[in-house]
Amino acid sequence: MRYSISKVAKMSGVSARTLRHYDEIGLLAPAEVSANGYRWYSRTQLRRLQRILLLRDLDVPLSQIKAILTGEDDEIAALRRHSQLVTAERDRLDAIAVTIGRTLDDLEGGRSLPDEEFFRGLQEGRAQLAATLRENFGEAATRVLPTADAWPAHWTRDDYDEAASRARNLYNRLSRARRAHLEPTSPSALDLVSEHYDAVCATWPASPAAYHALADLIESDPSQRAVVGVDDPDLPSWLAAAIRAYAVRRLRYSP
Cβ 66 vs Cβ 73: under 8 Å: no
pLDDT at 211: 83
Residues 85 and 136 sit within 8 Å (Cβ to Cβ): yes
Distance of CA 137 to the CA centre of its chain: 17
d(CA 156, CA 54): 32
The H or E element that residue 39 is part of is strand 39-41
Phi, psi of 183, rounded to the nearest 5 degrees:
-65, 135
Residues 156 and 255 placed together within one structural domain of the fold: yes
**pLDDT recorded at residue 71:** 61
Residue where a domain terminates, one of 16, 38, 55: 55
Q: 242 and 172 in one domain?
A: yes
Give the domain extent around 6: 1-55
> Each residue's pLDDT tens digit in the chain (255 positions)?
889 999 999 888 888 999 999 999 899 999 999 888 899 999 889 988 888 887 777 666 777 777 777 765 565 666 676 667 667 667 666 666 666 565 555 555 555 545 445 445 445 555 555 555 555 555 544 554 444 444 455 556 566 667 777 888 899 999 999 999 999 999 999 999 999 998 888 766 677 887 888 888 788 767 678 778 888 989 999 999 999 999 999 999 887
Same domain, 9 and 28: yes
Q: Are 195 and 171 in contact (CB under 8 A)?
A: no
pLDDT of residue 149: 47
Nearest Cα to Cα of residue 100 among 129, 121, 125: 121
- Which residues have CB under 8 Å from 128's CB, separation 6+? 88, 91, 92, 95
How many other C-beta atoms can be found within 10 angstroms of the C-beta atom of residue 39? 22
Phi/psi of residue 25, nearest 5 degrees: -95, 5
Same domain, 197 and 126: no
Distant-in-sequence, close-in-space partners of 226: CB < 8 Å, separation ≥ 6: none
Give the chain's domain count: 3
Whether the model pTM is above 0.75:
no
Q: Are residues 244 and 162 in the same domain?
A: yes
* DSSP letter assigned to residue 150: G
Measured CA to CA, the distance from residue 24 to residue 94 in angstroms comes to 37
Q: Are residues 193 and 103 in the same domain?
A: no
Predicted local confidence at residue 147, as pLDDT = 45
d(CA 205, CA 192) in angstroms, rounded, equals 19
Radius of gyration of the chain (CA): 20
Judgement on whether residues 10 and 102 belong to the same structural domain of the protein: no
